[in-house]
């Protein structure tokens, strides 16, 4: 009697329309393929010579950038495995603010190496076990590779040292200028306890026109609009902040007023005027000479503000209103009326300044040495260019925050990855069993960083990598900081510490952990079960009036 092989009963378990993919070939290999495609997209944007991507998102907004965090945020990735990489990269962005590209590129490289092992016949569980051992060992090795430690962030040289490399990877050629601006802004707001450093206290305002070399730091807050009334400058300002409109309050219900004669008609508008005059007189008597509102300002209200010499500024962002309250020490009021003394804020100078052809309002604190906020005013020819500069500045500021937590530094330019590669190869050689293959492949995957730096700079990657291997294996501890020289002088290699190219220990450790954990998660998947999407039939494409009779 022939042996009867039972068919899979999986389709009978679920509703109609479910899709199944299972086994190494269907599930694991397809996931690896998808993640590889995503990592290849951002890989060409890595390092100082990384190319830009032109992305038009679902709202038809154009982005031209080489910032991996922005690229993956605007790409609407739907593949579940690729989404895991996106989520890991976003976690790196929110925690550290740098090395987002490294997470995706390394995770993609690890999965590619795992594919090779799967084709050789290793089981995914064995690869996962080896990757976990390699990850734990690599995180321990990074601790030993620290080349410097930043003790204090109140020192200009220290800040320049850590911000220059982070900014150079985004705006190569402008790193001296931009790291100088970030350093100046950071020093002006640095609290006594550097662990309390707040990224939110450094703002960026973009003013179109001129060139990047006209960018500067303003101690205080800058708003890209001029005051509403005729008063333009106020010194020793007492500031009242309102979140409600400066106008007559409109009732929710409509009312009818019966007017019998001309006198009643005149009195009706006079009472309204008297009511508003009384409000602004109270403000003036309380000593308020600057009013900030998050809503509209009525014409009658503007008339009385000008009459009582009160400067009026509209700030439409509620987040900016919160920051301003923090800077001047005011409380935002939801009612129109004179504020209590403790609800009022104080600012040394509120003035209107012309930057290029745009007039902006500046709130500046002159007295204290450490201001509560600093603003970097960026100039540039196009909006896209200024947006990209803002992202580079954002990376520089976030690196300072990471160093406030952990000041240890590593050699950059791919030197750490090459040293990790060397040490993990030694670990693999001493590891018995099948785990050694996975550890070896983990070490080889780290080679992707120096290789990418070479390729993006148009160098011969094979020749430069062989020199890097020679330097790391032959020179012992001296070779630990030898990395890629993207300017291709001195045979394409340089001493990263002498060139001032540093990475943070905190950033590199988290990035390595996230990348390896994501790769391990993808390898652990053996079945993909997708339900039928909700909703009715999709309308036919390119037929505008398909639903009309």
Q: How would DSSP label each residue in 368-406?
A: SSS-S-EEEEEEESSHHHHHHHHHHHHHHHHHHHHHHH-
The 10 Å Cβ neighbour count of residue 406 is: 15
Convert the pLDDT of each residue in 403-448 to its tens digit.
887 778 888 788 888 888 888 888 888 878 888 888 888 888 888 8
- The phi and psi torsions of 346 (rounded to 5 degrees) equal -130, 135
Question: Is the pLDDT at 2 greater than 60, yes or no?
Answer: no
Share of the chain above pLDDT 70, in %: 87
Convert the pLDDT of each residue in 147-159 to its tens digit.
877 777 777 777 8
From 511, 509, 483, select the one nearest 497 (Cα to Cα): 483
Q: Which of the two residues, 24 and 197, has the higher pLDDT score?
A: 197
Measured distance CA(426)–CA(204) in Å, rounded:
47
Which residues touch 404 (CB under 8 Å, ≥6 apart)? Answer: 153, 194, 195, 197
pLDDT band at 479 (very low <50, low <70, confident <90, very high): low
Measured distance CA(111)–CA(122) in Å, rounded:
14
Question: Is the pLDDT at 6 greater than 60, yes or no?
Answer: no
DSSP assignment of 151-172? --SS-HHHHHHHHHHHHHTTST
Q: What would the mean pLDDT of 328-357 be, rounded to a whole number?
A: 77
Residue 21 pLDDT: 67
| Helix ranges, 299-349 (H) | 299-307, 318-328
Which residues touch 116 (CB under 8 Å, ≥6 apart)? Answer: 441
pLDDT band at 1 (very low <50, low <70, confident <90, very high): very low
- The phi and psi torsions of 500 (rounded to 5 degrees) equal 75, 30
pLDDT band at 26 (very low <50, low <70, confident <90, very high): low
Burial class (CB in 10 A: 0-12, 13-18, 19+), 174: middle
Q: What would the mean pLDDT of 354-379 be, rounded to a whole number?
A: 75
Measured distance CA(534)–CA(513) in Å, rounded:
36
- Are 85 and 34 in contact by the 8 Å Cβ rule? The answer is no
Q: Which of the two residues, 191 and 393, has the higher pLDDT score?
A: 393
DSSP tag of 147:
-
Q: How far is CA 105 from CA 11, 39, 43, 446, 483, in A?
A: 36, 5, 6, 10, 18
- Write down all domains in the chain, each with its CATH number in brackets: 11-147+411-530 (1.10.560.10), 221-251+260-364 (3.50.7.10)
DSSP tag of 233:
-
Q: What would the mean pLDDT of 167-189 be, rounded to a whole number?
A: 82
Measured distance CA(116)–CA(134) in Å, rounded:
17
Measured distance CA(98)–CA(333) in Å, rounded:
38
Q: Indicate the average pLDDT of the chain.
A: 79
Beta bridge partners of 345: 239
User: Best-predicted range by mean pLDDT among 138-147, 155-164, 325-334?
Assistant: 138-147
Does the pTM surpass 0.75? The reply is yes
Flag the least confident range among 380-384, 426-430, 504-508, 545-549. Answer: 545-549
């Amino acid at each position: 009697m022939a042996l009867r092989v039972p068919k899979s009963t999986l389709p009978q378990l679920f509703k109609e329309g479910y899709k199944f993919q299972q086994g190494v070939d269907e599930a694991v290999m397809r996931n690896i393929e998808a993640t590889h495609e995503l990592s290849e997209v951002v890989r060409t944007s890595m390092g100082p010579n990384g190319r830009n991507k032109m992305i038009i998102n679902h709202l038809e907004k154009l982005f031209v950038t080489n910032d991996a965090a922005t690229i993956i945020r605007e790409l609407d990735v739907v593949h579940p495995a690729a989404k895991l990489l996106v989520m890991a990269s976003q976690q790196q962005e929110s925690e550290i603010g740098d090395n987002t590209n490294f997470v995706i590129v390394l995770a993609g490289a690890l999965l590619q190496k795992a594919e090779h092992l799967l084709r050789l016949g290793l089981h995914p569980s064995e690869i996962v076990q080896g990757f976990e051992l390699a990850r734990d060992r690599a995180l321990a090795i990074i601790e030993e590779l620290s080349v410097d430690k930043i003790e204090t962030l109140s020192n200009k040289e220290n800040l320049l040292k850590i911000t220059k490399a982070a900014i150079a990877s985004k705006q190569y050629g402008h790193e001296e200028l931009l790291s100088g601006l970030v350093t100046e802004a950071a020093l002006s707001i640095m609290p006594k306890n550097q662990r309390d450093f707040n990224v939110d206290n450094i703002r960026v305002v973009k003013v179109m026109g001129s060139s990047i070399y006209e960018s500067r730091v303003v101690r205080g807050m800058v708003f890209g609009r001029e005051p509403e009334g005729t008063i333009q400058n106020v010194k020793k300002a007492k500031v009242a902040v309102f979140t409600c409109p400066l106008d007559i309050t409109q009732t929710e219900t409509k009312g009818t007023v019966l007017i019998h004669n001309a006198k009643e008609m005149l009195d009706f508008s006079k009472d309204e005027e008297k009511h508003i005059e009384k409000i602004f007189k109270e403000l003036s008597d309380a000593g308020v000479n600057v009013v900030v509102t998050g809503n509209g300002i009525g014409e009658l209200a503007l008339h009385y503000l000008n009459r009582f010499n009160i400067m009026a500024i509209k700030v439409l962002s509620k987040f900016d209103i919160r920051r301003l309250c923090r800077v001047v020490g005011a409380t935002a009021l939801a009612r129109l009326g004179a504020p209590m003394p403790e609800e009022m804020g104080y600012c040394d100078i509120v003035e209107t300044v012309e930057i290029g052809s745009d007039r902006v309002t500046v709130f500046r604190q002159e007295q204290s040495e450490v201001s509560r906020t600093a603003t970097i005013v960026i100039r540039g020819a196009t909006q896209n260019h200024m947006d990209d500069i803002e992202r580079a500045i954002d990376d520089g500021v976030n690196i300072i925050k990471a160093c406030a937590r952990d000041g240890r530094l590593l050699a950059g330019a791919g030197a750490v990855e090459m040293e990790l590669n060397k040490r993990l190869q030694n670990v693999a050689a001493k590891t018995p069993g099948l785990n050694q293959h996975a550890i070896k492949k983990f070490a080889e995957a780290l080679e992707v960083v120096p290789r990418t730096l070479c390729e993006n700079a148009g160098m011969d990657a094979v020749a430069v990598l062989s020199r890097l291997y020679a330097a790391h294996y032959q020179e012992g501890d001296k070779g630990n900081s030898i990395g890629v020289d993207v300017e291709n002088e001195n045979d394409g290699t340089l001493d990263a510490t002498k060139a001032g190219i540093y990475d943070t220990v905190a950033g590199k450790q988290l990035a390595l952990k996230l990348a390896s954990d994501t790769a391990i998660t993808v390898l652990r998947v053996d079945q993909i079960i997708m339900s039928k999407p909700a909703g009715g039939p999709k309308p036919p494409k390119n037929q505008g009036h398909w639903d009309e009779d």
